[in-house]
Amino acid sequence: MNKLLIISGPTASGKTSLGFSLAKKFNGEIISADSRQVYKGMDIITGKEEDPDIKTWLLSVVDPDEDFSVSDFYRLAWEAVNDIWKRGKLPIIVGGTGFYIKALLDGIGTMGIAPDQKLRDKLDALSVEELAKRLQKVDPKRWENMNISDRKNPRRLVRAIEVAGKLTVNNEQLTVNSLWIGLTAPFPLLYERIDKRVDERIKMGGIEETKNLAKKFGWDVYSMTGQGYRELRGFVEGKISFEEAVKRWKFAEHKYARKQMTWFKKEKRIVWVDIGEAVVRWYN
C-alpha cells in the first residue's frame, strides 16, 4: 500500500529540517503545506528553505497578486503525491497550514462547484461588511470557521457565499497508509526560536524584500497580509520605528503559534510522540 507521511506543528518547531532529514533517510520528497510559501518572491519573510538534494513541491507556484485557494493546493498536492509514488518514493507533507493538510486527507466539497458569474457581479457591489452579514445569514457555520483575515477578504467572502447551499460533502476516505505526526514544544521555547528567526530574516534582507514587493504589488493584495509583511508595513511607510515593527512581528508570530497549536490539538489523528522513533517503527 502507498505510504504518506505528514509533518505538522507550530511555526519554528523544526518541521522543515525534520522533513529534509527523513526524506534523505526514506528516499522521499517534500510537499510544502504552507499557505504563504506558495507565492513567488516571498522568500525571506515566509522562511522558505530548500535542500539541493531533496525536491520540494509547491514552493513559489503563483505570483503575489494571484489567487491561491485550498482547492488549488488539493489539486497540486495530489498531483505531486501521485508523481512521487509512481517513482517509488515517499511523499512527505510538511507545513503548518492545518486546513490544507486536512483537505488533502479528507477531500473538500467546493471542488466541483463552478463560479456563478451573475451572483459574483451582484456581490461585487457590496462592501466587506455587507458580504459578512450575507454569509452569516446563509452559512453561519462557515463564517464561524473563517479566520480574521478571511473575514476581511471580499474575494473569499464572495466564494463562501457562492458555495453556500450548494456544498456537497466529500466523504471519500484516504486509502493509503498515512502517518500524521506533530512537533510540539513549550511556548517559551517556541517564542525564543521565533524571535531568533525573525532577527535572522531581518539580517537576510527581509526589509528590502518587503519594500520591493510593496512597490510592485501594493499592500492590498491578500499575500501581503501575512505575518512579517503586515507588521513591517508601518516601518516601511515611516509610521513606526524599526524596533516597534520587529516587536509587532515577533508578537504576531507568537500569537500564530498558539493559534496553530489550538487547531492541531483538535486533530485526533496526529501522533504527538518521539518523532524519530515513531517514524522508524511505522515505515518499517
Residue spans per domain, the chain: 3-110+171-185+263-283, 117-163, 187-261
- CATH no. of 187-261: 1.10.287.890
Instruction: Provide the pLDDT for residue 66.
Output: 94
For residue range 222-236, what is the model confidence (pLDDT) as tens digits? 999 999 999 999 999
Give the range among 60-64, 111-115, 182-186, 202-206 with minimum mean pLDDT. Answer: 111-115
User: Measuring CA to CA, how many Å separate 138 from each of 4, 69, 163, 221?
Assistant: 37, 21, 10, 27
Give the range among 27-41, 151-165, 197-211 with minimum mean pLDDT. Answer: 151-165
User: Which H/E stretch holds residue 68?
Assistant: none
Give the range among 81-95, 109-123, 227-241 with minimum mean pLDDT. Answer: 109-123
Alpha-carbon span 249 to 268, nearest angstrom: 31
The three-class DSSP label of residue 8 is strand
What does the block give as the cell for 13?
A: 518547531
Q: Which of 186, 159, 94 is nearest to 194 (CA)?
A: 186
Categorize the per-residue pLDDT at 276 as very low, low, confident or very high, splitting at 50, 70 and 90.
very low
What does the block give as the cell for 261?
A: 497549536
Categorize the per-residue pLDDT at 203 as very low, low, confident or very high, splitting at 50, 70 and 90.
very high
For residue range 1-34, what is the model confidence (pLDDT) as tens digits? 799 999 999 999 999 999 999 999 999 999 999 9
CATH architecture of 3-110+171-185+263-283: 3-Layer(aba) Sandwich (3.40)
Categorize the per-residue pLDDT at 35 as very low, low, confident or very high, splitting at 50, 70 and 90.
very high
Categorize the per-residue pLDDT at 170 as very low, low, confident or very high, splitting at 50, 70 and 90.
very low
Alpha-carbon span 130 to 138, nearest angstrom: 13
Alpha-carbon span 242 to 112, nearest angstrom: 46
54 phi and psi angles, rounded to 5 deg: -125, 125
Does 148 have pLDDT greater than 60? yes
Q: pTM here?
A: 0.77
Instruction: Provide the pLDDT for residue 174.
Output: 47
Alpha-carbon span 155 to 163, nearest angstrom: 13
Q: What is the mean predicted confidence (pLDDT) over 219-224?
A: 95
Q: Which of 81, 91, 93 is nearest to 26 (CA)?
A: 91
Q: Which of 47, 67, 45, 68 is nearest to 56 (CA)?
A: 47
144 phi and psi angles, rounded to 5 deg: -65, -30
Does 58 have pLDDT greater than 70? yes
Instruction: Provide the pLDDT for residue 173.
Output: 41
Beta carbons of 210 and 236 less than 8 angstroms apart: yes
User: Measuring CA to CA, how many Å separate 199 from each of 43, 208, 227?
Assistant: 15, 14, 14
| Nearest-10 Cα torsion for 58, 185, 23, 267 | -60
Give the range among 65-69, 141-145, 162-166 with minimum mean pLDDT. Answer: 162-166
